[in-house]
Chains A and B, each alone.
Chain A
Amino acid sequence: MSDERRREPPGELRGDAYRDPGLVAALAGRVRAAASELGRPLKLMHICGTHEHALGRYALRDLLPPELSLLAGPGCPVCVCDSALIDAAVRLALRPGVVVASFGDMLAVPGSLPLRGEGKGDVRMSLESARAQGGEVRAVTSVFEAGRLAAENPESEVVFFSVGFETTVVATAALLRRDPPPNLSILEANYYTPPATAMLPSLPGFDVDGLLLPGHATAVTGTGVYDGLPALGISCAVAGFEPADILAAVSAVLRQLLEGRPRIDNAYPRVVSRQGNPRALAELAEVFEAAPRRWRGIADIDASGFDLRPAYRQRSARARFPDAFTAEGASAREHPAGCRCAEVTLGQVTPDACALFGGRCTPDNPYGPCMVSHEGTCRAWQQYGMARGRIAVRTA
């Protein structure tokens, strides 16, 4: 490979084609024109923490017309992760002979186990605090890294804290199908978004005109899993993650509203199709089955999580270490008192509606999961200053 010089790939394959300022400005213009033609307040929602980060990082809401609001819906698999699962991970980390391997996203999120002696009041244990107490926790960037960790440490039990949505769980399935080391087990904590999204229209006060669908989750599942939404009158467009991708999807939704014909448009066809990734879905179906999950602070939702099938159950941390898990039905504390993370997650309020936001609850002193987690809406809002609206400057 040393003779390989970095060739410039064709423009359409490069991310920066979708960051081009001229293209973004033109798309923003089209969005403003369509919104003006519709002539009424418009409410759109996305359901992906990575979309909220893109909106923040590029300050894309500055480019949208004031009558168009784009809300963050349930898009943070870390924020909705049942605190009982975090508690199990903490107990496992503190158990001699066990190493918990986790994506970095999860490490600072508190569960419900009290942290004694911290002197800061009502602090609960996270994997980070477990590590500070001598627990074995390793940050990994993929499930395959957890597999390598297990191979390199045959005398330890390695538990992979499998969090993330449908995009990520397929990798866990793929690894388990390929005979990983016997000392690797999985703490099943993946969530499946479509049932939660399907629940949104039934919530009181739901008045969203259109939805941006998550581009990488639908790359796996295909767009068909959202077919129920246009039937409810919700215009949908699959959105990628570059500025032009997001604005093109917004534009597609507005066009649907102008035509009065809700449907699912695919504004990210280079990666997303109607059928998704059949190979990934097949491997997923072989290893996991749909299961109910508690969405932290929100609800127990059927078929919104993934349990290992019987043939793979010996890979389940719940089966290997049952005493690390809270008994079924035992109450696990949800969000701390006064925390509005549930409403923020559902897109019912923006973070600045919460009395704690930016005061008692900040990134360096977070109160609830939406601020602790990097992909939480509250964290993104605080990080990028999104509650300020357009930032005016005065030069010398």
Chain B
Amino acid sequence: MSHYETIRLSHGSGGRLTAELVRDVFLAAFASEPLAALTDAAILESPGGRLAFTTDAHSVTPWRFPGGDIGRLAVAGTVNDLAVMGARPRYLSAAFLLEEGFRLDDLAEVAGSMRRTADEAGVAIVAGDTKVVERGKGDGIYIATAGVGWLPEGRDIGPHRLTAGDVLLVNGTLGDHGMAVMAARQGLDPSGSLRSDVMPLASLVEALLRAAPGTRFLRDLTRGGLAAVANEMVAGRPLGLRVFDARVPLSADVMEIGEMLGIDPLLTANEGKLLAAVPAEEADAALAALRAHPAGRRAAVIGDLLVEPAGLALVETAYGSRRVLEMPVEEQLPRIC
């Protein structure tokens, strides 16, 4: 058995080194039966009914950041895409694009992180692939995932159900992930108090849907933050969306670093937060269910859906004044002005 410290091109060529890599890193971490069979595809039991299917690609610099790493990000992100459809996530695949020179112990750390996150979410990683690109042609590690889950009968969650008068909730503080990654990249957080919120939300969603079965819409807040989702929700619809900025939960760190650098937490990425639209009569139950869950301790009602202005997302301040909540245009960079 060979012992390398870093990934070589031959680790991706399908021969002995690839087999060792799969066995020693991926099988060891993921330990799922379909994977261990080492066939070209996984054969899985299906409960029948509607299938939810999603795919995602992950690239983050640095690959390890306070609160998580690219592995956790990949699993949680895919799980959350399924969960916010109301589906119960079951199986994931993971394809790795590794740059020559990436450290094997780092890869093992990523795989371990994926396994832990998968266990948290109750999913199994059942298929995978590995390719290696030359040094300089990748960014260390990219991960592409796909995920499937099943929708229980009768669940109908989606933007077509949004209704004026619905109440909007989030499950906690916003902007944590984007701010932590940006700070890590810029070397701006010597005390490491900014942490990503990356987290699988499948069980949080189940708890919410049990308490508020009339929930109309769920979306995980990723790149572009709350602002992106808010705009997507109302674009081309006879609905407006209002956020009360005084009610949006923000950590002290995100708030002050955002002030320092001119970065708006409402436009900043999250990886463990969702936005829920529920009928007004179910808002209290929804909030209680979120707050009772570990991933929802700082959940809050933050806004509502309006009849007018149609197609617009807006912020109402503590002063009663109103401004537009823009669709984010590009990634926010730290500013001096």
Q: In their complex, do chains A and B touch, with some C-beta pair under 8 Å?
A: yes
When the two chains form their complex, are residues A375 and B335 in contact, meaning their CB atoms are under 8 A apart?
Answer: yes
When the two chains form their complex, are residues A364 and B165 in contact, meaning their CB atoms are under 8 A apart?
Answer: no
Give the contacts of B280-337 with A (CB-CB under 8 A): 304-309, 312, 314-315, 317-324, 326, 329-330, 333-337
Q: Output the least CB separation between B190 and chain A (Å).
A: 10
Given contacts A50-B337, A58-B321, A394-B308, 12 further A-B contacts (CB under 8 A): A24-B318, A63-B321, A139-B186, A374-B262, A375-B337, A383-B324, A383-B326, A385-B324, A391-B314, A391-B324, A393-B308, A396-B305
When the two chains form their complex, are residues A63 and B329 in contact, meaning their CB atoms are under 8 A apart?
Answer: no
When the two chains form their complex, are residues B337 and A78 in contact, meaning their CB atoms are under 8 A apart?
Answer: yes
How far, in whole Å, are A24 and B335 apart by their CA atoms in the complex?
A: 27
Chain B interface size range: 35 or more
When the two chains form their complex, are residues B337 and A56 in contact, meaning their CB atoms are under 8 A apart?
Answer: no
Can you list 14 contacts pairing A with B, beta carbon distance less than 8 Å? A28-B319, A57-B323, A62-B322, A63-B321, A104-B335, A105-B337, A145-B186, A164-B337, A363-B326, A364-B329, A383-B326, A388-B324, A392-B308, A396-B305
Q: Given A141-B186, A164-B336: A395 and B165 within 8 A (CB)?
A: yes
Query: Interface SS of chain B: helix, strand, loop or mixed?
Result: loop
When the two chains form their complex, are residues A384 and B164 in contact, meaning their CB atoms are under 8 A apart?
Answer: no
Question: Is A258 part of the binding interface, using a Cβ–Cβ cutoff of 8 Å?
Answer: no
10 closest cross-chain pairs (CB), A and B? A385-B324, A104-B333, A396-B165, A59-B321, A62-B321, A375-B337, A396-B164, A394-B308, A59-B323, A391-B322
Residues of A within 8 A of B309 (CB): 391-393
When the two chains form their complex, are residues B318 and A107 in contact, meaning their CB atoms are under 8 A apart?
Answer: no
Mask, A239-282, CB within 8 Å of B = 1, is 00001000000000000000000000000000000000000000
Question: Is B163 part of the binding interface, using a Cβ–Cβ cutoff of 8 Å?
Answer: yes
Choice from B164, B261, B326, B335 contacting A395 with Cβ under 8 Å: B164
A interface size (C-beta, 8 A):
51
Q: Output the least CB separation between B101 and chain A (Å).
A: 20
Question: Is A382 part of the binding interface, using a Cβ–Cβ cutoff of 8 Å?
Answer: yes
Question: Is B33 part of the binding interface, using a Cβ–Cβ cutoff of 8 Å?
Answer: no
Chain B: CB-nearest residue to A395: B306
Q: Given A63-B319, A103-B336, A391-B322: A385 and B306 within 8 A (CB)?
A: no
Q: Output the least CB separation between B250 and chain A (Å).
A: 12
Chain A: CB-nearest residue to B240: A393
How far, in whole Å, are A78 and B262 apart by their CA atoms in the complex?
A: 15
Q: Output the least CB separation between A60 and chain B (Å).
A: 7
Choice from A15, A141, A394 contacting B261 with Cβ under 8 Å: A141
Chain A: CB-nearest residue to B183: A141
Choice from A363, A388, A393 contacting B329 with Cβ under 8 Å: A363
Question: Is A108 part of the binding interface, using a Cβ–Cβ cutoff of 8 Å?
Answer: yes
Q: Output the least CB separation between A242 and chain B (Å).
A: 10
When the two chains form their complex, are residues B240 and A107 in contact, meaning their CB atoms are under 8 A apart?
Answer: no
When the two chains form their complex, are residues A384 and B326 in contact, meaning their CB atoms are under 8 A apart?
Answer: yes
Chain B: CB-nearest residue to A15: B259
Q: Given A58-B319, A63-B319, A104-B334: A141 and B326 within 8 A (CB)?
A: no
Residues of B within 8 A of A168 (CB): 336
When the two chains form their complex, are residues A393 and B333 in contact, meaning their CB atoms are under 8 A apart?
Answer: no
Residues of A within 8 A of B333 (CB): 104-105, 107, 139
* Chain B contacts to A: CB under 8 angstroms: 163-165, 186-188, 191, 240, 242, 252, 259, 261-262, 304-309, 312, 314-315, 317-324, 326, 329-330, 333-337
How far, in whole Å, are A16 and B301 apart by their CA atoms in the complex?
A: 22
How far, in whole Å, are A105 and B240 apart by their CA atoms in the complex?
A: 31
When the two chains form their complex, are residues B326 and A382 in contact, meaning their CB atoms are under 8 A apart?
Answer: yes
Question: Is A49 part of the binding interface, using a Cβ–Cβ cutoff of 8 Å?
Answer: yes
Residues of B within 8 A of A140 (CB): 186
Give the contacts of A339-396 with B (CB-CB under 8 A): 363-364, 374-375, 382-386, 388, 390-396
Chain A: CB-nearest residue to B319: A24
When the two chains form their complex, are residues A395 and B307 in contact, meaning their CB atoms are under 8 A apart?
Answer: yes
Choice from B307, B335, B336 contacting A396 with Cβ under 8 Å: B307
Mask, A1-35, CB within 8 Å of B = 1, is 10000100000000100010100110010000000
How far, in whole Å, are A24 and B317 apart by their CA atoms in the complex?
A: 12
How far, in whole Å, are A15 and B321 apart by their CA atoms in the complex?
A: 19
Question: Is A88 part of the binding interface, using a Cβ–Cβ cutoff of 8 Å?
Answer: no
Chain A: CB-nearest residue to B318: A21
Q: Output the least CB separation between B69 and chain A (Å).
A: 23
Residues of A within 8 A of B323 (CB): 56-59, 384-386, 391
Question: Is A77 part of the binding interface, using a Cβ–Cβ cutoff of 8 Å?
Answer: yes
Residues of B within 8 A of A60 (CB): 319, 321
Question: Is A76 part of the binding interface, using a Cβ–Cβ cutoff of 8 Å?
Answer: yes
How far, in whole Å, are A60 and B317 apart by their CA atoms in the complex?
A: 10
Q: Output the least CB separation between A68 and chain B (Å).
A: 15
Q: Given A382-B326, A394-B308: A243 and B319 within 8 A (CB)?
A: yes
Residues of A within 8 A of B164 (CB): 395-396
Chain B: CB-nearest residue to A364: B329
Give the contacts of A134-171 with B (CB-CB under 8 A): 139-141, 145, 164, 168
How far, in whole Å, are A164 and B326 apart by their CA atoms in the complex?
A: 26
Residues of B within 8 A of A375 (CB): 335, 337
Q: Output the least CB separation between A243 and chain B (Å).
A: 7
Residues of B within 8 A of A28 (CB): 319
How far, in whole Å, are A28 and B317 apart by their CA atoms in the complex?
A: 14
Residues of A within 8 A of B242 (CB): 393
Q: Given A58-B319, A105-B337, A374-B262: A394 and B307 within 8 A (CB)?
A: yes
When the two chains form their complex, are residues A49 and B337 in contact, meaning their CB atoms are under 8 A apart?
Answer: yes
How far, in whole Å, are A15 and B336 apart by their CA atoms in the complex?
A: 18
How far, in whole Å, are A169 and B239 apart by their CA atoms in the complex?
A: 47
How far, in whole Å, are A390 and B309 apart by their CA atoms in the complex?
A: 12
Q: Given A141-B188, A384-B323, A384-B324: A59 and B317 within 8 A (CB)?
A: yes
Residues of A within 8 A of B305 (CB): 396
Q: Output the least CB separation between B87 and chain A (Å).
A: 29
How far, in whole Å, are A277 and B153 apart by their CA atoms in the complex?
A: 69
Choice from B188, B191, B262, B337 contacting A77 with Cβ under 8 Å: B337
Q: Output the least CB separation between A49 and chain B (Å).
A: 5
Choice from A1, A104, A390 contacting B322 with Cβ under 8 Å: A390
Q: Output the least CB separation between A359 and chain B (Å).
A: 16
Residues of A within 8 A of B308 (CB): 392-394
Q: Which of A107, A243, A374 has the most CB of B within 10 A?
A: A374
How far, in whole Å, are A61 and B324 apart by their CA atoms in the complex?
A: 13
When the two chains form their complex, are residues A108 and B330 in contact, meaning their CB atoms are under 8 A apart?
Answer: yes
Q: Output the least CB separation between B26 and chain A (Å).
A: 35
Chain B: CB-nearest residue to A57: B323
Q: Given A391-B324, A392-B308, A393-B308: A141 and B334 within 8 A (CB)?
A: yes
When the two chains form their complex, are residues A139 and B317 in contact, meaning their CB atoms are under 8 A apart?
Answer: no
Q: Output the least CB separation between A108 and chain B (Å).
A: 7
